[in-house]
Amino acid sequence: MADMGMDAHRFSIAWSRILPNGTGLVNQAGIDHYNKVINALLSKGIQPYVTLYHWDLPQALEDRYNGWLDRQIVNDFAAYAEICFKEFGDRVKHWITINEPHTVAVQGYDAGLHAPGRCSVLLHLYCKSGNSGTEPYIVAHNFILAHATVADIYRRKYKATQNGQLGIAFDVIWYEPMTNSTIDIEAAKRAQEFQLGWFADPFFFGDYPETMRKRVAERLPKFTADESALVKGALDFMGINHYTTFYTRNNNTNIIGKLLNDTLADTGTVSLPFDKNGKPIGDRANSIWLYIVPSGMRKLMNYVKERYNSPTVYITENGMDDSNNPFSSINDALKDSKRIKYHNDYLTNLAASIKEDGCDVHGYFAWSLLDNWEWAAGYTSRFGLYFVDYRDNLKRYPKNSVQWFKTLLSSS
């Protein structure tokens, strides 16, 4: 990273490395490990941006009370965060409490595709338990209260001496109306409110979007007056993980979804990377969901600026993946011209949003430095700027995008 000219690195602390049982006895080896990581970064002039929760809940808390479904998680997460502030806050000035809460709520508790794999059994026979119509909203509510509680603790006890900032990394697809019809334009707006607005609106306005309150009704948890006051203003910055853009159209015919009252049916929309004639919205990367639409970055930044009155923004993830083709040579895998074009075009749109539109963007993190385990896709997906040879002791080789970034950073 230092050789490339990078001045910041985003990484995650694993809760169970600090507290193996989720609470109680602190694991000193975990503290020592992250101290080494932080100090090594700072010795090279690289600022650590630390994520406290990137989907790795200690199993003990899932076993004890179903993790994020129980309000107790708010207190336990706050206690874990405070340990991190005490141990690392003298050097860490940017904290991301939660990575992609929307993904956890929907994929973990509605679709059941990610941990802990809960959903309505009527819809997905592979889920042993869950309720797609209520649990995503409960989990989301606890995420929001957890961040707000942690932010309150930090501001009262640590900010004066540590002078850090706290944010959340939101996953945000940009939604483009399928047609110019009013009904599809409204559908795209609604889809965004059920994605970003669901989690961001409470921090800026003290409550969920009105469209969610109307459509989800009694299944949507309510903030008390004290909770609303705690939540509103609890973000120092917005992290935005943005990769792709989808078309969106109105949909009121999701019969199964309506029976289950799941989040997708609640939006009354369908979002896909294809237009009404089946034409892709852009060139596809390796992941089945990742279509390359650079203009979505600028549109999204302007949406955030206008809806939330020019908040401080960091692009906390942006990038694309190649396939892990077992028949390709390493030399061929290093020729990632598609990735170079992706970053060039997305950064060009991001720069325009800053210089021409006045969006308040303070930083950009490429996902990812190294090829790594990509959740359900495993090692079949390569997002890294550096190629990792899984067959030879995890040796690392710079792809062409490394030199491209190095040249870009040295000229800026």
Q: Which amino acid is at 161?
A: T
3-state secondary structure of 173: coil
What Rg, from alpha-carbon coordinates, does the chain have?
21
Alpha helices, H only, 315-381: 330-333, 337-355
3-state secondary structure of 224: coil
Q: Which of 78, 84, 136 is nearest to 106 (CA)?
A: 136
Q: Sign of the CA dihedral 341, 344, 274, 123?
A: positive
Structure token digits, residue 326? 């077992």
Confirm whether 100 is a catalytic residue. yes
Q: Which residue has the tokens 């047609």?
A: 179
Q: Which of 410, 411, 246, 408 is nearest to 340 (CA)?
A: 408
Q: Which of 87, 193, 227, 317 is catalytic?
A: 317
Q: List for the chain the helix, strand, coil content (%; round to 5).
A: 45, 15, 35
Cβ neighbors of 214 (< 8 A, separation 6 or more) are none
3-state secondary structure of 147: helix
Sheet-wide strand order for 245-250: 174-177, 245-250, 269-272
3-state secondary structure of 53: strand
Q: Which of 11, 95, 108 is nearest to 57 (CA)?
A: 108
Q: Which residue has the tokens 């483009």?
A: 176
- H or E, element range at 19: none
Structure token digits, residue 250? 């109105």
Q: Is 174 exposed, middle or buried (0-12, 13-18, 19+ CB in 10 A)?
A: buried
Confirm whether 374 is a catalytic residue. no
Rounded Cα gap, residues 67 and 126, in angstroms: 20
Q: Which of 87, 100, 135, 374 is catalytic?
A: 100
Residues taking part in catalysis? 100, 317
